[in-house]
Structure 1
Amino acid sequence: MDTQRTTPPKRRRGWRIVGWSALGLVGLLVLGVVGLMVFKPWAPRFVTTDPGPGGTRVTEAGVLGNYYPAAGSADAPAVLVLGGSEGGIDAWVDEQARALAGAGYHALALSYFGGPGQDHALHRVPLETFDAALDWLRGRPGVDGSRLAVLGTSKGGEAALLVGTRHPELNAVVANVPSTVAWQGLNLVEPWTMGSLGSSWTAGGVDVPFLRFPAAPPQGDLIHTHQAALDTLDQHGDARIDVGRIAGALLLVCGEADTMWPSCPMSRDVQARATGAATVELLAYPDAGHAASGVPAPVGEPLYGPLDALGGTPETNAAAREQSWSRTLTFLRDAFGS
């Protein structure tokens, strides 16, 4: 007599339903993970702004940028314009280049990462990228190759100082809300790789000495993470940018209320060490933040509202930009002797 027990048909169907449901949930989870990895909703969306009126897109000799010749001027100076960790060519970076062209300077807004065909990480960017951009500018019709400057903001200010150390022939370096050190690289598209990244920059294929972010970053505004790293600077002195090699005029702009990083304390450190510069000027705005510099943004313009994103208020940042941009144009005119 067969005594083997069998599962009733209804119960077997119930388990099959549970099994298929579990597989379905696993499948949905896998699809969700794949979707997140493909679309990366946390990642920044890099923008490479099309050139505005009078500008042209440059894609040659290792240079990607928007070029604006000086309005109605031959043998005019040229300015290399660098944005920050937003990558590509943001609208406000392009606007700076256009405003400089309107002021009588040839201007190139450069994309050094995040643009078409470029790495999405601000990691091991060759400083030769900026060398190539300066060489390209020197070769433009109407550019006085003996009168060149670099203007950079945030990570672009860090880069501008590094460029100045490599090019003592530059008439001027403008470093807006800059860093006094070279930092570890950034990869906001794949943030899980951050701990293994090297320097933001290389020279001759070798990492520029850099300051690493803390393994356990403090909570709150990013300034706390940067400050925690800067607190260890005595142990990593080689990360300091050798600003004593800058020979041209140097302008530093910062906001005391900056919540991105301590741009004013770092600017003062640069000011104290830039002993070889022709002149050093620091514009520090007590109530402004990371948006203390750049082309003025009047009330009602799209750029006005976000001015307080990294410290200060729209009003205080707008006032700082109004004053610092005017001073930047005067500073460049004096440095170029024109």
Structure 2
Amino acid sequence: MDVHERELDTPWEGVLTTSTGGSDAAVLILAGSSGRVERERARLLAGQGLTALAMRWFGGPGQPPGICEIPLETFTDAVGLLRSTGASRIGILGVSKGAEAALLTAVRDPRVDMVVAVSPTDSVWCNVGPGHDGRHHPYRSSWSWQGEPLPFLPMDDSWTPGSPEGEPVAFTGWYELSRRTFGHLLPGAAIPVERARAGMLLVAGGDDKMWPSLPAAERLAARRRSAGAEVTVISRAEAGHRPRFPGESVLPASRAHLHGGTPHADAILGADAWPLIVAALRGVPDARPGD
């Protein structure tokens, strides 16, 4: 299938990737805290007959340099762009902080039909990096809506890394400690996925070292089920924070962060999830019942 790419530079950097003949189904692709435009992933999804928009949502011109009070309107505007292509079915595929954004957008935008949240969280967290003012602290929300910051969980700065100085750091323990320390804020910071009209597919590895995405996915699924809403969870105990889909290149190991898993386990989780992701985004019947 032929794939065509159109570079975007306004209102944000991105690439709109389409297959020959167009598509009734489109997907917004959101990277995590890497901030990259997921071009390779967009090409793969366009190769499956989807219109795919991969965008930079922070760190670009006019955007905060970090993930700090990012307007969720950034993503609802992107949904509108996809609708303008003629797509009648809209999905969002987000990873890590991008998954946080995807879930929050679906709660607020009824035009979203499906969310695929890879390595998700079930709570709104504080900023990662500086806002427009260049400040990292005091902690602020990662997100805003209609000009107001969303309630969030801050980090407990009493935490210290367990790894030797200069070695990659696992952050899961920091998030677990912060959930305990600020437990009184959990109800307000919870992502209310039970309110979203969209279907949801959650992908998480049990060896995630960046944050505890599998327990978060299980809590998200419980909220959905309590409301009688659709959800599917795909997991693998040995996989880490970065599942890779068939045809994607292997990501190099980070010198700063431990992501968990192994390239083999991450690839297996991605391969398990891929046909269900494509089916969910295209709106065809699921290949197997939800977990």
Q: TM-score, normalised by structure 1?
A: 0.74
1:168 counterpart = 2:110: yes
Q: CA deviation at 1:285?
A: 0.7
Q: How many correspondences in the alignment?
A: 272
Match of 1:80 among 12, 28, 35: 28
Q: Aligned to 1:218, what secondary structure does the other structure show?
A: coil
Measured after TM superposition, the shift of residue 333 of structure 1 is 3.0
TM-score normalized with structure 2 length = 0.86
Cα distance change on mapping 1:277 and 1:117 into 2, 3 Å: farther
**Aligned counterpart, 1:178:** 120
2:138 matches 1:196 = yes
Deviation at 1:54, TM superposition (A): 2.2
CA contact (8 A) 1:249 1:335 kept: no
- Structure 1 runs not aligned, ≥5 long: 1-52
| Higher helix fraction (1 or 2) | 1
Residue 60 of structure 2 corresponds to residue 115 of structure 1:
yes
Deviation at 1:189, TM superposition (A): 10
**Mapped contact 2:245–2:267 kept (Cα < 8 A):** no
Task: Please give the alpha-carbon distance, in whole angstroms, between the structure 2 residues aligned to 1:297 and 1:304.
Answer: 12
Equivalent position to 2:4, from 54, 59, 83: 54
Q: Residue 212 of structure 1 corresponds to which residue in structure 2?
A: 154
In 1, Cα distance between equivalents of 2:195 and 2:78: 20
- Distance across 2 between alignment mates of 1:199 and 1:65: 24
Conserved in 2, the CA contact under 8 Å of 1:76 and 1:104? no
Percent of pairs identical after alignment?
A: 33
Q: Equivalent residue of 1:54, what SS? A: strand
Q: Distance in 1 between matches of 2:171 and 2:22?
A: 44
CA contact (8 A) 1:83 1:152 kept: yes
Gaps of 5+ in 2: 163-169, 287-291
Counterpart for residue 286 of structure 1: 237
Please report how far the alpha carbon of residue 257 of structure 1 lies from its aligned counterpart in structure 2 after TM superposition: 0.3
CA-based RMSD: 2.4
Name which of 245, 252, 255 aligns with 2:195. Answer: 245
Give, in angstroms, the shift of residue 169 of structure 1.
3.2
Q: Distance in 1 between matches of 2:271 and 2:41?
A: 13
Separation in structure 2 between the aligned mates of residue 153 and residue 174 of structure 1, nearest angstrom: 8
- Larger RCO of the pair (alpha carbons < 8 Å, separation 6+): 2
The change in CA–CA distance for 1:102 and 1:160 in structure 2 (over 3 A counts) is: same
Q: Which has the larger radius of gyration?
A: 1
Where 2:98 maps in the other structure, the secondary structure is helix
Q: Return the offset for 1:138.
A: 1.1
What is the 5 A alignment of 1:2-21?
none
Matches within 5 A, 1:136-155: 136-140=81-85, 143-144=86-87, 146-155=88-97
Further displaced range: 206-215 or 325-334: 325-334
1-structure distance, mates of 2:152, 2:188? 7
